[in-house]
Chains A and B, each alone.
Chain A
Amino acid sequence: VTAFGLGTAAHAIDELVINGEEKLVTETAAPAHLENMSTIRSGWTFRTDETKSLQMDDFDNPGMIFVDKAIDAWNTAEGAAEKACADCHSGPESMKGLRAKLPKWNEDAGEVWTMEMYVNDCRTNRMEAEAWDWNSADMRNMTALIGLQSRGMPMDVAIDGPAQSTWEKGKEIYYTRYGQLELACANCHEDNYDNYIRADHLSMGMTNGFPVYRLKQADLVSQHNRFRGCIRDTRAETFGMGSPEFIALELYVASRGNGLSVETPAVRN
Chain B
Amino acid sequence: MKRQALIGTIAGLAFATGPATAEIMAEQVAFTEYGEIEQSLSGTPGDPAAGREVMASRALGNCVACHMVSDMSDIPFHGEVGPMLDGAGDRWTEAQLRGIVANAKMTFEGTIMPSYYKKSGYIRPGNAFTGKAATPEQLETLLTAQQVEDVVAYLMTLTE
Contacts and interface: CB of A to CB of B under 8 A. Distances in A.
Nearest to B75: A4
A257 B8 CA distance: 56
Given A4-B78, A182-B115, A238-B126, 16 more contacts: A2-B78, A2-B80, A5-B78, A179-B122, A187-B112, A195-B81, A197-B66, A198-B78, A199-B77, A232-B126, A232-B129, A232-B131, A236-B131, A237-B124, A237-B134, A238-B131
Interface string B62-76: 101110100001011
Interface string A198-240: 1100000000000000000000000000001001111111100
Contacts of B134: 180, 237
Interface residues of B, number: 32
B128 interface: yes
Interface of B: 58, 62, 64-66, 68, 73, 75-81, 112, 114-115, 122-134, 139, 142
Nearest to B74: A4
Dominant SS among interface residues on chain A: loop
A234 to B, nearest CB: 8
Nearest to B64: A198
Given A2-B68, A232-B131, A237 B80 contact: no
A180 B139 contact: yes
Given A187-B112, A232-B131, A237-B131, A180 B80 contact: no
Interface residues of A, number: 31
Dominant SS among interface residues on chain B: loop
A183 B75 CA distance: 24
A236 B123 contact: yes
B81 A235 contact: no
Contacts of A199: 76-77
A192 interface: yes
A183 B142 CA distance: 14
In the complex, which of the residues A176, A191, A237 has the most CB atoms of chain B within 10 Å of its own CB atom? A237
B77 A6 contact: yes
A198 B80 contact: no
A12 interface: no
14 contacts: A1-B80, A3-B73, A4-B77, A5-B80, A179-B125, A180-B122, A180-B134, A181-B142, A182-B122, A191-B112, A196-B77, A198-B58, A199-B77, A237-B132
A228 B132 CA distance: 11
B117 to A, nearest CB: 12
Question: Which 4 pairs across A and B sit closest by C-beta, in order of nearness?
Answer: A232-B131, A199-B77, A237-B133, A198-B65
